[in-house]
Amino acid sequence: MQELLRAVSREAILPHYQSLSSDQIMEKAEDDFVTVADRLAEEMLAEGLQRIIPGLPIVGEEAAHADPSVLQRLRDDCWIVDPIDGTHNFAQGKPPFGILIAMASAGEAHTGWIYDVLTDRLCIAHRGKGAFIDGERISATASGEQPPVAAISTIFMDPAEREMVRNHVAPHYRLVDTPRCAAEQYPRLALGQNDVSIFNRTLAWDHAAGVLWLNEAGGKAARLDGSPYRVDEIERTGLLGAASPALWDDLAARYEQLS
């Protein structure tokens, strides 16, 4: 897998980094971009993954955008692919951005890869077997700061929820900017940089690998009510991530008071 990720980075992504022309950046929706590199990378990843397991269905971000019926594959065995996670950053010629790949069965991810294109860092998780960075098993570590460090994404919240989070949750934490890249945010939650995160939009290609990896590292990522994240809950929103179950519980309790 790492060789495929490196090849896609080398041939499809990095040649376009900091060299995109305006006509190579398209807006799929408000503040949601796709570039020629995203599309080329997804094509290369799909070809490579088919060589690894021929016939296994693929749910790619760009393929699903072009044909929403692709999302039905999330109910069965499948690959889940985000060819460039952090496209907003990539399109502006700045880090972070990465590649996210997961394998899922019956709506649950069981294997995940989080690849940092610029640093070659590879995070891997296998359900029940732990989380790894560049081959070394890791355990999630909190920042140790008081108040805890929070990266809260309010971009996709409705105005009422955004206001409640800002007024009733955010004051209990030291806020830091989100990287606008799940491939960076999940590692930050395990590596002592961020303690908690709130995600509103929870698309499978953004979160399948990261949720699995953080949970396997000993942190916690789950829905607002504590239920497990499933990749086939296509319309559902809201997800909390934390460096430890205790930090997750504290954030969830504060969030519950908003309802």
> Is 177 among the annotated ligand-binding positions?
no
Residues in the chain: 259
26: left (phi over 0), alpha (psi -120 to 50) or beta: beta
Is residue 83 within 8 Å of 99, Cβ to Cβ? yes
**What SS3 class is residue 237?**
coil
The sign of the dihedral angle between the CA atoms of 31, 36, 39, 41 is: negative
The sign of the dihedral angle between the CA atoms of 215, 221, 225, 228 is: negative
> Is 85 among the annotated ligand-binding positions?
yes
Q: Helices H, strands E: what count in the chain?
A: 8, 14
Neighbours of 160 (CB within 10 A): 9
- CA-based diameter of the chain, in Å? 50
d(CA 105, CA 62): 21
The residue among 156, 148, 173, 147 whose CA lies nearest residue 244 is: 148
> Is 38 among the annotated ligand-binding positions?
no
Q: Which residues pair with 210 in a beta bridge?
A: none
> Is 32 among the annotated ligand-binding positions?
no
> Is 84 among the annotated ligand-binding positions?
yes
Q: Please report, in range form, the residues annotated as the binding site for Mg(2+).
A: 61, 82, 84-85, 206
Known binding-site residue numbers = 61, 82, 84-85, 206
